[in-house]
Structure 1
Amino acid sequence: MKNQWRVIIILILVLLVALFAVVNVNEVPLSLLFTTVHWPLVLVILVSLVAGALITFLVSMGTVMAQKKQQRVEMDVATKKIDDLREENESLKRRVNNVSNENGQKNHNLEEL
Protein backbone atom coordinates (compact mmCIF):
# COMPACT_ATOMS: atom_id res chain seq x y z
CA MET A 1 0.00 0.00 0.00
CA LYS A 2 2.87 2.36 0.85
CA ASN A 3 4.51 1.78 -2.52
CA GLN A 4 1.26 2.56 -4.33
CA TRP A 5 1.09 5.96 -2.66
CA ARG A 6 4.70 6.62 -3.60
CA VAL A 7 3.97 5.79 -7.23
CA ILE A 8 0.92 8.07 -7.22
CA ILE A 9 2.90 10.94 -5.67
CA ILE A 10 5.73 10.46 -8.18
CA LEU A 11 3.25 10.49 -11.06
CA ILE A 12 1.67 13.71 -9.77
CA LEU A 13 5.12 15.33 -9.46
CA VAL A 14 6.07 14.23 -12.99
CA LEU A 15 2.83 15.73 -14.33
CA LEU A 16 3.54 19.00 -12.49
CA VAL A 17 7.06 19.15 -13.95
CA ALA A 18 5.70 18.40 -17.44
CA LEU A 19 3.09 21.16 -17.05
CA PHE A 20 5.81 23.52 -15.82
CA ALA A 21 7.95 22.65 -18.85
CA VAL A 22 5.11 23.29 -21.29
CA VAL A 23 4.32 26.68 -19.74
CA ASN A 24 7.98 27.85 -19.68
CA VAL A 25 9.22 27.15 -23.20
CA ASN A 26 10.31 30.74 -23.92
CA GLU A 27 14.01 31.12 -24.64
CA VAL A 28 16.02 33.32 -22.33
CA PRO A 29 19.56 34.65 -22.75
CA LEU A 30 22.06 33.04 -20.42
CA SER A 31 25.44 34.72 -19.97
CA LEU A 32 28.28 32.24 -19.50
CA LEU A 33 31.56 34.08 -18.86
CA PHE A 34 32.57 35.09 -22.41
CA THR A 35 29.49 34.09 -24.36
CA THR A 36 25.73 34.29 -24.27
CA VAL A 37 23.46 31.38 -25.15
CA HIS A 38 19.69 31.20 -25.58
CA TRP A 39 18.08 28.30 -23.76
CA PRO A 40 14.49 27.51 -22.86
CA LEU A 41 13.60 28.82 -19.41
CA VAL A 42 12.57 25.37 -18.18
CA LEU A 43 15.97 23.96 -19.12
CA VAL A 44 17.77 26.73 -17.23
CA ILE A 45 15.64 26.10 -14.15
CA LEU A 46 16.05 22.31 -14.29
CA VAL A 47 19.83 22.52 -14.80
CA SER A 48 20.03 24.91 -11.83
CA LEU A 49 17.92 22.52 -9.76
CA VAL A 50 20.09 19.52 -10.62
CA ALA A 51 23.30 21.47 -9.92
CA GLY A 52 21.95 22.56 -6.52
CA ALA A 53 20.89 19.01 -5.66
CA LEU A 54 24.31 17.68 -6.68
CA ILE A 55 26.13 20.26 -4.55
CA THR A 56 23.87 19.48 -1.58
CA PHE A 57 24.48 15.74 -2.03
CA LEU A 58 28.26 16.17 -2.17
CA VAL A 59 28.34 18.38 0.93
CA SER A 60 26.15 15.96 2.88
CA MET A 61 28.33 13.01 1.79
CA GLY A 62 31.37 14.80 3.22
CA THR A 63 29.56 15.16 6.54
CA VAL A 64 28.44 11.52 6.51
CA MET A 65 31.97 10.31 5.75
CA ALA A 66 33.37 12.40 8.62
CA GLN A 67 30.79 10.93 11.00
CA LYS A 68 31.60 7.36 9.87
CA LYS A 69 35.31 8.00 10.42
CA GLN A 70 34.61 9.31 13.91
CA GLN A 71 32.45 6.25 14.66
CA ARG A 72 35.25 3.93 13.48
CA VAL A 73 37.73 5.69 15.78
CA GLU A 74 35.32 5.45 18.72
CA MET A 75 34.70 1.77 17.94
CA ASP A 76 38.45 1.08 17.89
CA VAL A 77 38.87 2.80 21.26
CA ALA A 78 35.93 0.85 22.74
CA THR A 79 37.28 -2.45 21.36
CA LYS A 80 40.70 -1.75 22.87
CA LYS A 81 39.08 -0.94 26.21
CA ILE A 82 37.04 -4.18 26.08
CA ASP A 83 40.17 -6.19 25.30
CA ASP A 84 42.02 -4.57 28.21
CA LEU A 85 39.11 -5.32 30.55
CA ARG A 86 39.01 -8.96 29.41
CA GLU A 87 42.73 -9.32 30.09
CA GLU A 88 42.27 -7.76 33.52
CA ASN A 89 39.33 -10.10 34.18
CA GLU A 90 41.43 -13.16 33.27
CA SER A 91 44.25 -11.92 35.49
CA LEU A 92 41.87 -11.44 38.41
CA LYS A 93 40.36 -14.91 37.87
CA ARG A 94 43.85 -16.42 38.01
CA ARG A 95 44.62 -14.52 41.23
CA VAL A 96 41.35 -15.68 42.81
CA ASN A 97 42.10 -19.24 41.73
CA ASN A 98 45.62 -19.02 43.23
CA VAL A 99 44.29 -17.62 46.49
CA SER A 100 41.68 -20.38 46.63
CA ASN A 101 44.37 -23.01 46.06
CA GLU A 102 46.57 -21.48 48.78
CA ASN A 103 43.62 -21.47 51.20
CA GLY A 104 42.93 -25.10 50.31
CA GLN A 105 46.56 -25.99 51.02
CA LYS A 106 46.47 -24.15 54.34
CA ASN A 107 43.21 -25.85 55.33
CA HIS A 108 44.72 -29.22 54.42
CA ASN A 109 47.83 -28.45 56.51
CA LEU A 110 45.62 -27.42 59.44
CA GLU A 111 43.66 -30.66 59.22
CA GLU A 112 46.88 -32.67 59.32
CA LEU A 113 47.92 -30.94 62.50
Structure 2
Amino acid sequence: MKFQWTWLLGLLFAIIIAIFSVLNVDSVPVNYAFGTSEWPLVLIILCSALLGAAISGIVAMFRSVLAKHRIKELLREMNAKELTIAAQQNQIMELQKLVPAMDPDEVKEID
Protein backbone atom coordinates (compact mmCIF):
# COMPACT_ATOMS: atom_id res chain seq x y z
CA MET A 1 0.00 0.00 0.00
CA LYS A 2 2.85 2.38 0.82
CA PHE A 3 4.42 1.72 -2.58
CA GLN A 4 1.14 2.67 -4.30
CA TRP A 5 0.99 5.99 -2.47
CA THR A 6 4.62 6.69 -3.31
CA TRP A 7 3.96 5.88 -6.96
CA LEU A 8 0.85 8.09 -6.99
CA LEU A 9 2.67 11.03 -5.39
CA GLY A 10 5.57 10.63 -7.82
CA LEU A 11 3.18 10.64 -10.77
CA LEU A 12 1.40 13.72 -9.42
CA PHE A 13 4.73 15.48 -8.92
CA ALA A 14 5.78 14.59 -12.49
CA ILE A 15 2.52 16.01 -13.89
CA ILE A 16 2.97 19.24 -11.92
CA ILE A 17 6.56 19.59 -13.19
CA ALA A 18 5.45 18.90 -16.78
CA ILE A 19 2.69 21.53 -16.62
CA PHE A 20 5.02 24.06 -14.98
CA SER A 21 7.74 23.47 -17.56
CA VAL A 22 5.36 23.72 -20.53
CA LEU A 23 4.15 27.09 -19.23
CA ASN A 24 7.77 28.35 -19.13
CA VAL A 25 9.09 28.04 -22.68
CA ASP A 26 11.16 31.23 -22.85
CA SER A 27 14.88 31.01 -23.50
CA VAL A 28 17.10 31.94 -20.60
CA PRO A 29 20.85 32.42 -20.39
CA VAL A 30 22.75 29.61 -18.65
CA ASN A 31 26.16 30.53 -17.26
CA TYR A 32 28.79 27.80 -17.21
CA ALA A 33 32.27 28.07 -15.77
CA PHE A 34 33.61 28.26 -19.33
CA GLY A 35 30.88 30.29 -21.09
CA THR A 36 27.23 31.22 -21.50
CA SER A 37 24.49 29.82 -23.71
CA GLU A 38 20.75 30.24 -24.28
CA TRP A 39 18.52 27.30 -23.35
CA PRO A 40 14.74 26.94 -23.23
CA LEU A 41 13.54 27.08 -19.63
CA VAL A 42 11.45 23.94 -20.22
CA LEU A 43 14.63 21.90 -20.80
CA ILE A 44 16.33 23.35 -17.74
CA ILE A 45 13.33 22.50 -15.53
CA LEU A 46 12.98 18.97 -16.89
CA CYS A 47 16.72 18.26 -16.72
CA SER A 48 16.86 19.57 -13.15
CA ALA A 49 13.93 17.35 -12.12
CA LEU A 50 15.48 14.30 -13.79
CA LEU A 51 18.87 14.97 -12.22
CA GLY A 52 17.23 15.31 -8.79
CA ALA A 53 15.35 12.05 -9.28
CA ALA A 54 18.53 10.27 -10.41
CA ILE A 55 20.51 11.51 -7.41
CA SER A 56 17.69 10.48 -5.05
CA GLY A 57 17.60 7.03 -6.65
CA ILE A 58 21.35 6.57 -6.33
CA VAL A 59 21.27 7.61 -2.67
CA ALA A 60 18.37 5.22 -2.01
CA MET A 61 20.22 2.33 -3.66
CA PHE A 62 23.38 3.11 -1.66
CA ARG A 63 21.42 3.11 1.60
CA SER A 64 19.73 -0.15 0.60
CA VAL A 65 23.09 -1.81 -0.06
CA LEU A 66 24.40 -0.59 3.31
CA ALA A 67 21.28 -1.91 5.07
CA LYS A 68 21.61 -5.33 3.41
CA HIS A 69 25.28 -5.48 4.41
CA ARG A 70 24.38 -4.62 8.01
CA ILE A 71 21.63 -7.28 8.06
CA LYS A 72 24.09 -9.95 6.87
CA GLU A 73 26.59 -8.85 9.50
CA LEU A 74 23.98 -9.04 12.27
CA LEU A 75 22.81 -12.48 11.10
CA ARG A 76 26.39 -13.78 11.24
CA GLU A 77 26.77 -12.33 14.74
CA MET A 78 23.47 -13.88 15.85
CA ASN A 79 24.46 -17.31 14.52
CA ALA A 80 27.79 -17.12 16.33
CA LYS A 81 26.05 -16.21 19.59
CA GLU A 82 23.52 -19.02 19.15
CA LEU A 83 26.39 -21.49 18.73
CA THR A 84 28.03 -20.10 21.88
CA ILE A 85 24.79 -20.48 23.82
CA ALA A 86 24.34 -24.06 22.59
CA ALA A 87 27.91 -24.93 23.64
CA GLN A 88 27.35 -23.40 27.08
CA GLN A 89 24.09 -25.32 27.50
CA ASN A 90 25.93 -28.55 26.63
CA GLN A 91 28.59 -27.73 29.24
CA ILE A 92 25.91 -27.12 31.86
CA MET A 93 24.24 -30.43 31.07
CA GLU A 94 27.55 -32.30 31.36
CA LEU A 95 28.33 -30.60 34.66
CA GLN A 96 24.91 -31.54 35.97
CA LYS A 97 25.62 -35.18 35.05
CA LEU A 98 28.90 -35.07 37.01
CA VAL A 99 27.34 -33.70 40.18
CA PRO A 100 25.19 -36.36 41.85
CA ALA A 101 21.64 -35.40 42.61
CA MET A 102 21.44 -34.24 46.20
CA ASP A 103 18.47 -34.27 48.51
CA PRO A 104 17.36 -30.89 49.83
CA ASP A 105 18.02 -32.20 53.36
CA GLU A 106 21.67 -32.83 52.47
CA VAL A 107 22.01 -29.28 51.21
CA LYS A 108 20.73 -27.93 54.52
CA GLU A 109 23.27 -30.02 56.41
CA ILE A 110 26.11 -28.58 54.32
CA ASP A 111 25.15 -25.00 55.17
TM-score range with shorter-chain normalisation? 0.5 to 0.7
Structure 1 residues 1-113: aligned runs within 5 Å: 15-97=15-97, 99=99
Please give the alpha-carbon distance, in whole angstroms, between the structure 1 residues aligned to 2:39 and 2:55.
Answer: 22
Once the two structures are TM-superposed, the CA of residue 49 in structure 1 deviates from its matched residue by: 1.7
Moved more, 56-65 or 41-50: 56-65
Distance 1:65 1:94, change over 3 A: same
Asked if structure 1 preserves the Cα contact closer than 8 Å seen for 2:21 and 2:46, the reply is: no
Please give the alpha-carbon distance, in whole angstroms, between the structure 2 residues aligned to 1:22 and 1:37.
Answer: 20
Please give the alpha-carbon distance, in whole angstroms, between the structure 2 residues aligned to 1:78 and 1:34.
Answer: 56
The secondary structure found in structure 2 opposite 1:34 is coil
Instruction: Point out where structure 1 has 5 or more consecutive residues left out of the alignment.
Output: 104-113
Instruction: Point out where structure 2 has 5 or more consecutive residues left out of the alignment.
Output: 102-111
Asked if structure 1 preserves the Cα contact closer than 8 Å seen for 2:17 and 2:46, the reply is: no
Please give the alpha-carbon distance, in whole angstroms, between the structure 1 residues aligned to 2:87 and 2:72.
Answer: 23
Moved more, 86-95 or 6-15: 6-15
- Higher RCO by CA contacts (8 Å cutoff, separation 6 or greater): 2
Identity %: 29
Once the two structures are TM-superposed, the CA of residue 81 in structure 1 deviates from its matched residue by: 0.8
Once the two structures are TM-superposed, the CA of residue 56 in structure 1 deviates from its matched residue by: 2.8
Please give the alpha-carbon distance, in whole angstroms, between the structure 1 residues aligned to 2:27 and 2:59.
Answer: 32
Q: Answer 1 or 2: which has greater helix percent.
A: 1
Aligned length: 100
* Matched residue type, 2:50: V
Once the two structures are TM-superposed, the CA of residue 78 in structure 1 deviates from its matched residue by: 1.6
* Matched residue type, 1:55: I
User: What TM-score does the superposition give when structure 1 sets the normalisation length?
Assistant: 0.60
